[in-house]
Structure 1
């Protein structure tokens, strides 16, 4: 059976007026006020049991009247209610495991004859919450959530040498229960800086919350979605290390991040605005000032609640935070890559080898400051010491096919000594092949292909072919092979004949030699 809807206070007052001032019957009141006879009888009986008299006191508002007319109130022997301390109730509910039922029971033990019923207790608490600031309406348990974001304002940092300025980003983290705030400056909002700020926030708080609530910036969320957001892999790894979960704020849901937005606003007003006339020359200078003013912000008393952020942190959040892990955190970069035909994958502009059997397969790369680990289908297949030379190659011999392992035994010196034995022109072309590559290892196969032509054509023809290729601009082994196949190595090289016009132009009196310009 659906619950009967409570009449408005205007209707209830009208029912009482019609009975006590107009002496109307129940049916007449029902017709006049357009409410059921049952409702009229109910409120007239409640009024009789309440002990009130007509006319009502001038200072009795609607809230006081409905409390006196409620069934729980009219059945009590003592009508003087004692209002709970709602600020204390509000603070207590932030403690982990605390419930309204328990607080109501404790309230009844203190005031057994003057306490509200459980339903009235909850109703009046909810009404009190509605009167508070909007940011206080959400309740957060101690140690439950840490809200993180960046301030909209930046702080310029000047170069001592040039005077040019670069903007520093301001990271802000706010604990949900106590509003205890952490802030710092970094150069970017990139993944390394963002995660580093999170780690330093944990160290500042001395513990780890259950959940992190970031906005949908790229460093936290790779793909935003209201129902199933894709978390940045490096950020997820950090959360796993510290034993917490990530709950991104939903797109276009400002209430989800109201805490940190209020914290950002406070940091901008109470910290950044105070620093607007100060010139900073380094991040460390700026962060020292931020930390000093942050201490003042966290000790500033609340306007509508008892205590300050620091005292509420000690009371609510600190006892509920998980301890920091003993093993220090190490930042990891993640990347998916397909193995190239040369059995190498690129990571941060450097190339690392994998077993050649994985050519064209997709692998996962996990890089720390010192190592690069490569995984296939979730299983590690190899690791390398991380290198930072852009364009360089790091290769393990066991990753090569057998024919490439034999090639690995060659060196530029060994190739040049072999070429020298075959003749001066072969040596010149071999040097040209080695010098034509950024990494000489890339020319080894070409050099071996050139030198092995001697077995088929002999030293004399190979030297002649190399000489002809050099003079005609050939730079590939294929040019030498074509010359040998076509027999051009046996034909003298003919220089192009000069035309009459070229000879006239070359001897013209207006043509100045190179000495004229010296």
Structure 2
């Protein structure tokens, strides 16, 4: 797909309130075999307009060509010499998103861009000149007229040939194009980071997003959309993605796989969930492990047993492990793994009283 701005910039847009007439810029693309045309008017030739025009052109064709061939425009190309090609960051992302190859023609080589230059001249004659016959009060109105005129040009048969651009597109270009992605490309807000901090989190809009800890001290690029945070290395290779957060809490958004091993261990040890209480119980022995496991499973929702587990484990943390194991074993034998049962058995065991089954509360499952 060849991409360029048309050189002719006529004054076509009338400001109704002031009577001022603005010039418009024509973005145009064509395909290599069929020469199928896409054109759109913009108020300027800034990067945002260039990217938007490229996205609309891809949607117009209904597929993705193997190559995008823009002229050496600042909106797409940062540097292009015989030794080096550096794409503008946003256009590089566009290249990755559509899984295509951006390949500008060699600079100062007219024969390298003959197709697009001929295409531009054709549009200046057959599209822009007819548009100059009137003025428009809005860009939308102008683009509607452009769409109608381009449709006529694409359906018009070539000179001395029995087919049109549209016919050639359906026969030659379209079968070779890749399907469009399900999502639409979104322009990102960029933030360059000279060094990833030691805590391996990068700040954006008051929130801190993690990157793998091995990137500490290295440069990175953060790209933010309305819904997503993407972090890339200095070569624009994707390192990780996060869902963008707008909540006041938590401020730190961390993936476990990004954490240092010692940090991950500390988190796992101190996370108060079912696994936390099972790990704590395993310190005393297998009977206590089974007792806590049964307690957690006895509730409809495991979280409902957390307080009872915490109460038992805190109350026995300074007791000999043998006593705790014996209490847990007796509770398991009575099939009464409950907080109240455990406390009663523990009290009797500490006071030296025999722990007979009749002195214990009856469980509904016994």
The residue number in structure 1 matching 2:141 is 285
The residue number in structure 2 matching 1:188 is 44
Match of 1:366 among 212, 219, 223: 223
Report the CA distance shift for 1:166/1:372 in structure 2 as closer, same or farther (over 3 A): farther
Asked whether the 8 Å contact 1:337–1:346 carries over to 2, the reply is: no
Task: Tell me by how many angstroms 1:256 deviates.
Answer: 1.7
Distance 2:216 2:92 in 1: 29
Asked whether the 8 Å contact 1:370–1:386 carries over to 2, the reply is: no
The residue number in structure 2 matching 1:257 is 113
Report the CA distance shift for 1:352/1:338 in structure 2 as closer, same or farther (over 3 A): farther
Is 1:379 the counterpart of 2:239 in the alignment?
A: yes
Distance 1:275 1:394 in 2: 55
The residue number in structure 2 matching 1:178 is 34
1:456-487 deviations in Å (ceiling 9; x for gaps)? xxxxxxxxxxxxxxxxxxxxxxxxxxxxxxxx
Task: Using structure 1 for the length normalisation, give the TM-score.
Answer: 0.42
The residue number in structure 2 matching 1:151 is 6
Asked whether the 8 Å contact 1:158–1:281 carries over to 2, the reply is: yes
Task: Tell me by how many angstroms 1:155 deviates.
Answer: 4.0
Distance 1:367 1:192 in 2: 16
Distance 2:2 2:81 in 1: 18
The residue number in structure 1 matching 2:356 is none
Give structure 2 stretches of 5+ with no counterpart: 255-366
Task: Tell me by how many angstroms 1:280 deviates.
Answer: 1.1
Q: Specify which structure has the higher proportion of strand.
A: 2
Distance 1:148 1:398 in 2: 40
The residue number in structure 1 matching 2:341 is none
Task: Tell me by how many angstroms 1:147 deviates.
Answer: 0.6
Distance 1:190 1:394 in 2: 37
Report the CA distance shift for 1:345/1:170 in structure 2 as closer, same or farther (over 3 A): farther
The residue number in structure 2 matching 1:213 is 69
Asked whether the 8 Å contact 2:196–2:219 carries over to 1, the reply is: no
Give structure 1 stretches of 5+ with no counterpart: 1-145, 388-392, 400-518
Aligned pair count reads: 246
Distance 1:370 1:161 in 2: 38
1:148-179 deviations in Å (ceiling 9; x for gaps)? 10001224322222223333221110101111
Task: Tell me by how many angstroms 1:203 deviates.
Answer: 1.6
Asked whether the 8 Å contact 1:301–1:309 carries over to 2, the reply is: yes
Asked whether the 8 Å contact 1:339–1:345 carries over to 2, the reply is: no
Is 1:272 the counterpart of 2:128 in the alignment?
A: yes
Task: Tell me by how many angstroms 1:328 deviates.
Answer: 3.1
The residue number in structure 2 matching 1:326 is 182
The residue number in structure 1 matching 2:355 is none
Asked whether the 8 Å contact 2:207–2:245 carries over to 1, the reply is: no
Distance 1:270 1:301 in 2: 14
Asked whether the 8 Å contact 1:182–1:204 carries over to 2, the reply is: yes
Report the CA distance shift for 1:385/1:280 in structure 2 as closer, same or farther (over 3 A): farther
- RMSD of aligned alpha carbons: 3.4
Is 1:245 the counterpart of 2:101 in the alignment?
A: yes
Segments of 4+ moved more than 6 angstroms:
343-347, 357-360
Task: Tell me by how many angstroms 1:360 deviates.
Answer: 7.7
Task: Tell me by how many angstroms 1:269 deviates.
Answer: 0.9
Q: After TM superposition, list the pairs within 5 Å mapping 1:280-359 onto structure 2.
A: 280-338=136-194, 353=208
Higher-Rg member (1/2):
1
Task: Using structure 2 for the length normalisation, give the TM-score.
Answer: 0.58
Asked whether the 8 Å contact 1:172–1:260 carries over to 2, the reply is: no
The residue number in structure 1 matching 2:308 is none
Report the CA distance shift for 1:371/1:166 in structure 2 as closer, same or farther (over 3 A): farther
The residue number in structure 1 matching 2:80 is 224
Report the CA distance shift for 1:338/1:158 in structure 2 as closer, same or farther (over 3 A): farther
Which protein has greater RCO, CA pairs closer than 8 Å, 6+ apart? 2
SS in 2 for 1:208: coil
Match of 1:234 among 87, 90, 93: 90
1:425-461 deviations in Å (ceiling 9; x for gaps)? xxxxxxxxxxxxxxxxxxxxxxxxxxxxxxxxxxxxx
Report the CA distance shift for 1:187/1:397 in structure 2 as closer, same or farther (over 3 A): same
Is 1:396 the counterpart of 2:247 in the alignment?
A: no
Task: Tell me by how many angstroms 1:236 deviates.
Answer: 2.2
